[in-house]
Structure 1
């Protein structure tokens, strides 16, 4: 078997024509010669045609991959299985991460809570999985991290987080599933004069980022670089999502960043002013998102991942009517990156909490690209 393109050197791949084709020795080949795995550019029309799949969400979209590429320098591509008629029948967006701290990895996808392979049927999914495992278990191949479950003996599964997602029906039915406590807190926010506005401009993103830095610093966690959020604001302005600002007397007291594509509205980032939590602004943002999703025809409101053990946050999300399930990540080949050691993470948290905000921002600018 072998590679049907010029030899790959220094851990890099490059396209020959409109895609890279890797021959993988797998049993599913109809003609006995092996299975072709295409590596496509994310803007390729064949991949974009597959985005009509019901499981496709914002994380599968080429615009999200371009944002990560421009912000962190990752190399984007899509691993795809051809359908024999010029199109593709399965695909998975991947980014190649080169880091002096975490090594060379293929991640589907960095800074994305999950990223399911898209396939027209079970056979196509099996072919894609088999092809990726075959490719990434070769000597010198990078470790593959897929933020989804891969049904294959060659994939190692790990779950350290829970995933919460609210099914959306009509607004009245969806609101009935919300716990009485959340409904009461929402009414309390409204009585105290809090209101929510949805915007996509840079000024709104600045308001969010100010609160986001406060929130991350309070938790002792580095904050993502401002450049990432500035680019994200540009993306939102093209119809990719919005920023929900909870306002009280002209001041932003809480904010959320939402992405939407396909059937899912994703609550990606949240932040609030710790001095104004008695106003219950976060409840009002959740309620706004739930109603907005129903009114605009989305099937799910995704509340993102929560680490196992954060029982209070899990309960908070379930009370909005969210379904809870384990979030499984799969690893193929090599050793997966474990991120920062516990002692380093704890030490950094103490430093961030007790130093000026610029330390929180600077540490994020330095470290985030290595741990995506």
Structure 2
């Protein structure tokens, strides 16, 4: 087995072909995401490929190297997204990539590696299984799906419609309204927000695969989401709503609209994103009929290190989150992008 650090156009073409032909690939294994991360965040991206003795690609592993003034140095696959990790033909190729990743971590002085796997790996690396992704199998038409919803859920969707809310699904022309809702929602959650340029880069890089959905009332956006389609699955990695209008249920109309869009476009599965079991977001997604799919996050740790807790559930961040919620939205929008680039 030979490890290749992805650099030239020839190997990039082999990488892309391998990902597109592998049945377990996620959209985030595609090389285009490397360009988005480099352009927007400026992080180094050591992408590892393993070949056999005949030069055939046997596996790939995309990595993002973060040098954070707050949390130190670490590698993630994939940073900022739900999925990534090792994609390989067999256990032998996977082990070669894991060993190469550990060597890379030591070379750059990383304290840990985090791999966000959809399926289990045959490895002794410690694993955390606290998260699931909530997925809904889709029928060919939305009316069939609508009939399967609980009556309370259907009434909440209709309520938003009766208020006269408008649903728009499109591209960059909706970016301003999408971001307006998203930024306020992140402030309300106490979470630093991505810069608008991040989403602009995604839209430009994936003009066919990515759509924005915005729910508005009298011209004011109240809920929004970003949709990413890969193969037969449509995912909503980012969704937001303005809590000041929660009683009008714009978020329910948002999800109803994107599920209708998913059926209309021929997707077979809708991915609501990751949640902790029995959390509020888990129950929200479950009411639509979504079922949990166990996620497996594996860690390589430098000597003496413990699995990191770089998430909002860590009590250490409670005071910072509470403070962030008090910031005016323009201030949060100004400061947030300088911090969130260092959060995986």
User: What TM-score, normalized by structure 1, do the two folds share?
Assistant: 0.80
Does residue 234 of the first structure (1) align with residue 200 of the second (2)? no
Unaligned regions of 5+ residues in structure 1, if any? 1-34
Alignment of 1:132-211 (within 5 A): 132=101, 135=103, 142=110, 143-148=112-117, 149-153=120-124, 155-171=125-141, 172-201=143-172, 203-211=173-181
1:321 to 277, 280, 289: 289
For the structure 1 residues 292 and 120, does the alpha-carbon distance in structure 2 shift closer, same or farther, using more than 3 Å as the test?
Answer: farther
For the structure 1 residues 277 and 217, does the alpha-carbon distance in structure 2 shift closer, same or farther, using more than 3 Å as the test?
Answer: same
2-structure distance, mates of 1:231, 1:180: 39
2:329 to 349, 353, 357: 357
Q: Which residue of 2 aligns with 1:368?
A: 340
SS at match of 1:75: coil
Contact preservation (8 Å) 1:222, 1:360: yes
- Residue 157 of structure 1 and its aligned partner are, at CA, apart by 0.6
SS at match of 1:247: strand
Q: Which residue of 2 aligns with 1:6?
A: none
Q: Which residue of 1 aligns with 2:27?
A: 58
Contact preservation (8 Å) 1:42, 1:76: no
For the structure 1 residues 316 and 140, does the alpha-carbon distance in structure 2 shift closer, same or farther, using more than 3 Å as the test?
Answer: closer
CA-to-partner distance for each residue in 1:103-162, whole Å, 9 max, x for gaps?
A: 3322101001121432345554455445545x3686876332101143211x11113323
Contact preservation (8 Å) 1:94, 1:108: yes
Q: Which residue of 1 aligns with 2:310?
A: 339
Contact preservation (8 Å) 1:83, 1:89: yes
For the structure 1 residues 137 and 363, does the alpha-carbon distance in structure 2 shift closer, same or farther, using more than 3 Å as the test?
Answer: closer
Does residue 292 of the first structure (1) align with residue 261 of the second (2)? yes
Alignment of 1:268-283 (within 5 A): 268-283=237-252
- Residue 59 of structure 1 and its aligned partner are, at CA, apart by 1.6
Contact preservation (8 Å) 1:37, 1:79: yes
- Residue 246 of structure 1 and its aligned partner are, at CA, apart by 0.9
CA RMSD across the alignment: 2.7
Does residue 38 of the first structure (1) align with residue 4 of the second (2)? yes
1-structure distance, mates of 2:105, 2:210: 38
- Residue 324 of structure 1 and its aligned partner are, at CA, apart by 0.9
2-structure distance, mates of 1:294, 1:84: 45
2-structure distance, mates of 1:92, 1:273: 37
Instruction: State which structure, 1 or 2, has the greater radius of gyration over its C-alpha atoms.
Output: 1
Does residue 217 of the first structure (1) align with residue 187 of the second (2)? yes
User: What TM-score, normalized by structure 2, do the two folds share?
Assistant: 0.86
Unaligned regions of 5+ residues in structure 2, if any? none
